[in-house]
Amino acid sequence: MKTDTKFYAQLFLTLITCAFLVIPVCQSVLAGITVNYIAGIKSGLTLKWLIEVWSLYRDTIFRSIGIGLACLGVDLVAGVPAAYVMVKTNNRITRALEEFLVIPLAIPGLAIALALLISYGGFTEFRKSWLIILTGHVIFTLPFMIRSVIAVMASMDIQGLEEGASSLGAGFWRRFFSVIVPNAKTGILAGSLMAFTLSVGEFNLTWMLHTPLTKTLPVGLADSYASMRLEIGSAYTIVFFIMIIPLLMAMQWVATLTQGKKTIREDAPGQDSLTALPKERRPMNPNPNTGTSTDTISTGPSTGTSITLKHCAKTYPGNTMALKPTDLSINPGQTVVILGPSGCGKTTTLRIIAGLESPDAGGSVHFNEKNVTHIPIEKRNVGMVFQNYALFPNMNVTENIGYGLMVRGMEKNGARKRVQEMLAMMQIEDLADRRINQLSGGQRQRVALARAIATRPRVLLLDEPLTALDAKLRDALRVDIDDLLRSVGITAVYVTHDQAEAMALGDCLVIMSRGKIAQTGTPRQIYNHPASEFVARFVGSINTLEGTVQDDAFCTAGTAIPLADLPGLPPKGGEPARFFFRPEHARLTDPGSGRLAARVVSSFFLGDRTKLMVKDPSDQIFNLETPGHLSFTRDDAVGIDLDTASFMTFGD
């Protein structure tokens, strides 16, 4: 009952508001078709006043529409690029300019008109023409256009969209008109509607600037009301409605069409798996590379394009060095994964390879033997899958995949066939006509991959493309991406901070830390033979065993291990020492047996295994794993047997 009362109250308020707005309009229309408005409708209906207005004032109506359309054209040509520049630069100057835009709105139209007359009144022909009115209207309406477009562009990922288009070969103007403008269309249409409406209805400014030969609709309407013939003025209003309302409705209709329908789709089971013909893994370089100044990664067959970075560094404004001078060589046909913590320089390295960033002076990038350092990304023939995918919302799946082919001028039938091949390879034929906002995360990821390889790039670059997906989906797509990369036989560089992704996808890994390469090698080499404590800790789990050397043995509170059983050069007697071992290099035994005695600190059942944290008598904590069928409680006594041959030690 309470809900019904609330509904009817809202309905009543809505009807009252509509009546308040509509009744005056109806009264005005009625006055324009009655013989005598004072006498009312009983005086009879007539079209006399409409005919008289049309014969006397139709030139003002067409002039207003013409000036309104011209004003709209100028606002579009000047306002859209201005909004784009202001959003792109987004500094104190552009923010000040944006605030400056409101000044024409705060100044009365009469004052603007007076300023124009003072400035340009001496130019007789200009003063006598409708162009001076157009100038005033542009000054008045341009801020509305710019601010409307800024509001939409500021919510767009302009940089991501532009980089996505440039990676497919699109130059600036093609990117601007085929990607940026269509995706800002709602703001452009809103600004257009406002600019045209304001121009057609503007009176104060126009009244000051018009001449007897350049009257506009509002000025003519004021003149008709000044004649004290309400019938003439109301008929003028009717003619205004007949001419203007259809134009406004058409613009609103176009705006509605561009908004589209937004549908959020959930990831359906089995719908986000890539399928491509798996290929046997290529042979790996058997010798580990422990992070010298030049890191060369080698694998089997030479297919694809080699990539070489020579002394590449990157310093951003503020003297922030994101990448220290780096040399890196990637052989043709490899899948190389750049791995490291946030801020280590891995994405900067990828963007330098792509051409989205330029290295500091003295650095160079080579594809095969060609120096491509100064070649922009749109001319490097690289495919790139971005972390946020950078798909184009104004295009459907087919158009996204075919965009790069269109940019390259590929013949229409050939492009259509190539798009169909990509849809089939990714098993997304049923998504061909879907809009991007109707796709799940996994589906977008597949579209991004299809778009990147549709142009047959010589290098494929992937910047953490799985980060936005849930864990289960990441695991599934990780394997499928690996199969895909090997099936297309392309040189691929993959950036991630996820160890599991790196180990699963990489022929070789490039481990980065603090803007430089820490080590390169195959996943097995990196895991089993880390070059530093950082690498050992970053890739996989590692335990630290601390003690001192006494009488040719490594001693802790819980054990003494002969130095002969330990790898590496032993430190001097009496000095502290540290050794490192992986969880799998330790085995739980019964209490009282094994090399170390320990107690359980915590136990985590993970299904197939149980993860333990144990503490030895010197309070050192170790992470271990046991079969899942074993269970433990806090303070349980256990023994630990150590595979000392697998111990690692690192210099300072």
3-state secondary structure 409-449: CCCHHHHHHHHHHHHHHCCCHHHCCCEHHHCCHHHHHHHHH
CB neighbour list of residue 55: distance below 8 Å, 6 or more residues apart: none
| pLDDT value, residue 268 | 42
| pLDDT value, residue 224 | 66
Question: What mean pLDDT is predicted for residues 348-358?
Answer: 94
| pLDDT value, residue 91 | 83
Question: Phi/psi of residue 482, each to 5°?
Answer: -60, -45
| pLDDT value, residue 297 | 40
Which ranges of 107-203 does DSSP label H, i.e. alpha helix? 109-120, 124-128, 131-153, 158-166, 172-175, 181-183, 185-201
Say how far apart CA 587 and CA 344 lie, in whole Å: 35
Mean pLDDT over all residues of the chain?
A: 82
Say how far apart CA 437 and CA 102 lie, in whole Å: 34
Question: What mean pLDDT is predicted for residues 540-567?
Answer: 80
List, for residues 290-302, the tens digit of each pLDDT value: 443 344 443 334 4
Asked whether the predicted pLDDT for residue 599 surpasses 90, the reply is: no
List, for residues 22-51, the tens digit of each pLDDT value: 777 777 777 777 877 777 777 778 888 788
Tokens 């290529």 belong to residue: 282
Strands (E) located in 317-363 = 320-330, 335-339
Asked whether the predicted pLDDT for residue 522 surpasses 90, the reply is: yes
Asked whether the predicted pLDDT for residue 65 surpasses 60, the reply is: yes
| Better-predicted residue by pLDDT, 214 or 481 | 214
Question: What mean pLDDT is predicted for residues 353-365?
Answer: 94
Question: What mean pLDDT is predicted for residues 463-486?
Answer: 75
Q: How many CA atoms lie within 13 A of 245 on its CB side?
A: 6
Say how far apart CA 80 and CA 149 lie, in whole Å: 7
Cβ atoms 453, 492 nearer than 8 A: no
Asked whether the predicted pLDDT for residue 356 surpasses 80, the reply is: yes
User: Highest mean pLDDT range out of 245-249, 472-476, 495-499?
Assistant: 495-499
Lowest mean pLDDT among 133-142, 197-206, 453-462: 197-206
Angle between helices 109-120 and 131-153 (to 10 degrees): 120
CA distances (Å), origin 53, targets 56, 215, 289, 384, 470: 5, 14, 89, 63, 67
Per residue in 344-376, is it b (16+ CB within 10 Å) or e — as a string? bbbbbbbbbbbbbbebeeebebbbeeeebbeee
Pick the CATH number of 57-258 from 3.40.50.720, 1.10.357.10, 1.10.150.120, 1.10.3720.10: 1.10.3720.10
Cβ atoms 295, 326 nearer than 8 A: no
Q: How many CA atoms lie within 13 A of 103 on its CB side?
A: 9
CB neighbour list of residue 199: distance below 8 Å, 6 or more residues apart: 64, 67, 68, 71, 72, 137, 140, 141
| pLDDT value, residue 56 | 75
Question: What mean pLDDT is predicted for residues 5-25?
Answer: 81
Say how far apart CA 335 and CA 488 lie, in whole Å: 11
Provide Rg for the chain, Cα atoms. Answer: 36
Question: What mean pLDDT is predicted for residues 593-611?
Answer: 85
Cβ atoms 198, 248 nearer than 8 A: no
Cβ atoms 98, 86 nearer than 8 A: yes
pLDDT classification of 227: cutoffs 50, 70, 90: low
Lowest mean pLDDT among 165-169, 429-433, 461-465: 461-465
The CATH superfamily holding the domain 333-355+375-534 is P-loop containing nucleotide triphosphate hydrolases (3.40.50.300)
Angle between helices 48-89 and 131-153 (to 10 degrees): 50
Question: Phi/psi of residue 424, each to 5°?
Answer: -70, -40
Tokens 């304001």 belong to residue: 198
Q: How many CB atoms lie within 10 A of CB 634?
A: 10
| Beta strand 576-581 pairing with 609-615 | unpaired
Looking at the chain, the whole-number percentage of residues with pLDDT higher than 70 is 88
Say which DSSP state 506 is in.
Answer: -
Would you call 235 helix, strand, or coil by DSSP? helix
CB neighbour list of residue 344: distance below 8 Å, 6 or more residues apart: 512, 513, 514, 515
Question: What mean pLDDT is predicted for residues 175-185?
Answer: 94
The CATH superfamily holding the domain 541-646 is Nucleic acid-binding proteins (2.40.50.140)
Asked whether the predicted pLDDT for residue 331 surpasses 70, the reply is: yes
Say how far apart CA 597 and CA 590 lie, in whole Å: 9
Lowest mean pLDDT among 89-98, 300-309, 584-593: 300-309
Domain boundaries, the chain: 57-258, 333-355+375-534, 541-646
| Beta strand 576-581 pairing with 553-555 | unpaired
| pLDDT value, residue 298 | 38
| pLDDT value, residue 346 | 92
| Beta strand 320-330 pairing with 294-297 | parallel
